């Protein structure tokens, strides 16, 4: 299978906002709602695909702001919307102050929404005429899930598996076990042997074995050199902030960075010999060399 069935509609959104997949039928369902700043545009795209019919359900693969940031917007548009979240994060969403602390901890923000039901790993759910297996996918996020349609072998992988790797392994930044969980999740994906992967970011892909080999190579490197993962993650956090703001003065970025818990923690654990200012300068230098951002005097521009 090289393309999706006609009742599945893929929205490729880039890197600030996650991709979304719309499941058409009697129970119209959206998997991941993207970043809050992109929600109005996604709503317009959904209007065309749904032909003005209501969206009935959202399923989140995990609760990082780039995957669930649109939930509140869609809940306001569709008051009867069923928002289904991984069961491991149910209590966190019931107490939104906990979610606020979690998002602040990784330098992100997400409008508050009300989850209405849980989705449990190691179960099957039927959406319209298709059965999806729900699998735990810890690593990037310890409560994340995968959705797999065994008949057509379609995998919705969130940030557990991309064409070029996988998302930042957050537990490792606080010196907790994470790489092992990534390896277990990649092994599970290999066992599922999907024909088509719908990732959280990047294009859909069918060369699954090649992408798994690349993911294992990256994981091997990160495991043998955790500082390289910390450097990669730090660059991602700063880039994500600039993607959201588009342009910031260096002083404004620094004022945010010195209060961002995940950046503070990462520097203290992995780069204690460098001052925060010097470390931030190095991140900006790296992003500039990669042509990911541009520096005009004291102004930083997202590219």
For the chain, what is the domain count?
2
Grouping H, G, I as helix, E, B as strand and the rest as coil, residue 259 is: coil
The neighbour count for residue 23, using CB atoms within 10 Å, is 22
pLDDT of residue 2: 67
Q: Could you say which of 167, 190, 223 is where a domain stops? A: 223
Cβ proximity of 132 and 185 under 8 Å: no
Q: Is the pLDDT of residue 51 over 90?
A: no
Q: Is the pLDDT of residue 119 over 80?
A: yes
pLDDT of residue 14: 86
Same domain, 177 and 244: no
Distances (CA, A) of 246 to 183, 206, 213, 296, 302: 34, 33, 34, 13, 5
Label residues 223-240 b or e (16+ Cβ within 10 Å = b).
beebeebbbbbbbebbbb
Label residues 127-139 b or e (16+ Cβ within 10 Å = b).
beebebbbbbbbb
Cβ proximity of 194 and 148 under 8 Å: yes
In a domain, 84, yes or no: yes
Kindly report the average pLDDT of the chain as a whole number. 96
In a domain, 197, yes or no: yes
pLDDT of residue 52: 79
Distance (Å, whole) CA 184 – CA 295: 40
In a domain, 149, yes or no: yes
Task: Tell me the per-residue pLDDT of 262-271, one tens digit each, with 9 for 90 and over.
Answer: 999 999 999 9
Same domain, 36 and 169: yes
Task: Tell me the per-residue pLDDT of 223-241, one tens digit each, with 9 for 90 and over.
Answer: 999 999 999 999 999 999 9
Same domain, 150 and 234: no
pTM: 0.96
Same domain, 57 and 88: yes
**Domain of 126, in residue numbers:** 8-223
Q: Is the pLDDT of residue 296 over 90?
A: yes
Strand partners, 132: 125
Task: Tell me the per-residue pLDDT of 161-220, one tens digit each, with 9 for 90 and over.
Answer: 999 999 999 999 999 999 999 999 999 999 999 999 999 999 999 999 999 999 999 999
What CATH code is carried by the domain that includes residue 100? 3.60.15.10
CA max distance for the chain: 58
Q: Residue 251's pLDDT band (boundaries 50, 70, 90)?
A: very high
Grouping H, G, I as helix, E, B as strand and the rest as coil, residue 284 is: helix
Distance (Å, whole) CA 133 – CA 150: 7
In a domain, 295, yes or no: yes
pLDDT of residue 65: 96
In a domain, 1, yes or no: no
């Amino acid at each position: 299978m090289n393309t999706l069935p006609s009742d599945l509609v893929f929205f490729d959104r880039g890197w600030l906002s996650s991709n979304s997949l719309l499941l058409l039928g009697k129970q119209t369902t959206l998997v991941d709602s993207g970043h809050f700043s992109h929600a109005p545009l996604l709503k317009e795209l959904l209007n065309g695909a749904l032909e003005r019919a209501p969206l009935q359900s959202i399923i989140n693969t995990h609760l990082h702001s780039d995957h669930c940031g649109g939930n509140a917007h869609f809940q306001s548009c569709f008051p009867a919307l069923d928002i289904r979240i991984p069961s491991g994060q149910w209590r966190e969403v019931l107490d939104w102050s906990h979610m606020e602390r979690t998002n602040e901890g990784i330098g992100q923000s997400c409008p508050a929404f009300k989850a209405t039901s849980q989705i449990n790993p190691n179960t099957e759910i039927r959406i319209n005429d298709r059965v999806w297996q729900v699998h735990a996918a810890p690593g990037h996020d310890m409560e994340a899930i995968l959705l797999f349609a065994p008949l057509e072998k379609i995998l919705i992988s969130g940030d557990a598996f991309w064409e070029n790797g996988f998302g930042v392994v957050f537990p490792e930044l606080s010196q907790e076990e994470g790489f092992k969980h990534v390896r277990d999740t990649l092994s599970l994906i290999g066992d599922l042997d999907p024909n088509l992967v719908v990732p959280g970011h990047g294009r859909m892909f069918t060369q699954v074995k090649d992408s798994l080999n690349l993911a294992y190579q990256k994981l091997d490197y990160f495991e043998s050199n955790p500082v390289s993962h910390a450097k990669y993650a730090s660059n991602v956090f700063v880039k994500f902030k600039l993607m959201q703001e588009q342009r910031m003065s260096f002083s404004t970025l620094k004022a945010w960075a010195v209060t961002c818990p995940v950046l503070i923690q990462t520097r203290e654990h992995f780069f204690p010999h460098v001052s925060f200012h010097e470390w931030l300068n190095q991140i900006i230098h790296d992003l500039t060399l990669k042509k990911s951002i541009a520096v005009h005097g004291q102004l930083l521009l997202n590219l």
